[in-house]
Amino acid sequence: MYKIIDGKNIAAELRRIIKGEVEQIKTERGISPKLVVVLVGDDAASQIYVRNKERACAEVGILSEVQRIPSTIKESELIEQVRSLNNNKNIHGILVQLPLPKHLNEIGVLNEISPDKDVDGLHPLNMGKLLKGEDTKFIPCTAAGIMELILSTGVELMGKEAVVVGRSNIVGKPTAILLLKKHATVTICHSRTRDLGEVTRRAEVLIAAVGRPAIIKENMVKDGAIIIDVGMNRLGEKLVGDVDYELVKNKASFITPVPGGVGPMTIAMLLKNTLLAVKQKTD
């Protein structure tokens, strides 16, 4: 019988802990943690994500500011905006909401964020340290959240065969590195992997993060696998994952739902990183 990994409850407990630490920093050091989100354009999904981040910040006592910028902004102007946030001592975390309009170079813009304020964990210095196994200031939020969900099962990862379906810099690659750090044996697949099911059927831990609705079918899953579904795909009014949940769940030992699995954890880890930015600055 499968067990649901309840990301909503785990994230709520994390927010409770973070709220206590934020209050302590305010009382003992007189510092109010602050996160600035830069939102370029009017992408509908991005608007929803940003509102959720604002609500989460308010819940734990982190100040949040959303800088809404027209999609027509020039890249040089956006970079100057990011640099001005870097120089503001009252701002502890900076997040540039992705995706950016197509005329803007995402990598170029993200690289301008100070590594000390890079709460999304996407600056090459932080990503490079993660890859090398060094202590890094920030881990990409979704990847960090995925690991918290896996660890909540109590299953020992050492020696387990893990498969990550997806190779993005935000999810797939950092998740694979974090699994390696826990001594799992890791395979990375993607949308162009031949005989994908042949690979995923070996997985004792399966992370689906390719962004294709129900790409993981029942016959692609090993009995008793831990399944983490990162997909957030809209089919009309319905939000579905990368896993065919209703058919796959009965083969799993643990599985995350969509929604209510990885999504709340991503925001919780963003709050945790923002708090960490304050701690590292003041310790």
Catalytic residue among 81, 97, 137, 222: 97
Nearest to 141 by CA among 282, 240, 14: 14
Q: How far apart are CA 140 and CA 119, in angstroms?
A: 8
Mean pLDDT within 44-59:
94
Unique residue bearing structure tokens 């981040």: 53
Of residues 137 and 7, more confidently modeled: 7
pLDDT band of residue 282 (cuts 50, 70, 90) is: low
Angle at alpha carbon of residue 233, lines to 228 and 238, rounded to 5°: 110
Is residue 53 flagged as an active site residue? Answer: yes
Mean pLDDT within 48-77:
97
Catalytic residue among 34, 81, 116, 120: 120
Residue 4 pLDDT more than 70?
yes
What is the pLDDT at residue 197?
Answer: 97
Average of per-residue pLDDT values in the chain = 96
Q: How far apart are CA 254 and CA 5, in angstroms?
A: 6
pTM over the 0.85 mark: yes
What is the pLDDT at residue 207?
Answer: 98
Residue 283 pLDDT more than 60?
no
Mean pLDDT within 182-208:
97
Which residues of the chain form CATH 3.40.50.10860?
Answer: 30-115
First-to-last C-alpha distance (Å) of the chain: 46
Residue 196 pLDDT more than 60?
yes
Catalytic residue among 53, 117, 222, 249: 53
Domain 141-262 has CATH 1.10.3720.10: no
* pLDDT tens, residue by residue, 142-170: 999 999 999 999 999 999 999 999 999 99
Which residues of the chain form CATH 3.40.50.720?
Answer: 141-262
Is residue 97 flagged as an active site residue? Answer: yes
Is residue 280 flagged as an active site residue? Answer: no
Look at domain 30-115 and name its CATH class.
alpha beta
* pLDDT tens, residue by residue, 209-267: 999 999 999 999 999 999 999 999 988 889 999 999 999 999 999 999 999 999 999 99
What is the pLDDT at residue 237?
Answer: 84
Of residues 8 and 45, more confidently modeled: 8
Backbone angles phi, psi at 105, to 5 degrees: -85, 105
Q: Report yes or no: 167 and 175 within 8 Å, Cβ to Cβ.
A: no
pLDDT band of residue 45 (cuts 50, 70, 90) is: confident
What is the pLDDT at residue 135?
Answer: 84
* pLDDT tens, residue by residue, 73-125: 999 999 999 999 999 999 999 999 999 999 999 999 999 999 999 999 999 99
Tokens of 247: 């058919």
DSSP track, 84-129: HHHT-TT--EEEEPSPPPTTS-HHHHHTTS-TTTBTTS-SHHHHHH
Residue 176 pLDDT more than 70?
yes
What is the pLDDT at residue 136?
Answer: 86
Using DSSP's 3-state secondary structure scheme, residue 3 falls into strand
User: Residues near 137 by Cβ (< 8 Å), separated by ≥ 6?
Assistant: 115, 116, 118, 121, 126, 129, 276, 277, 280
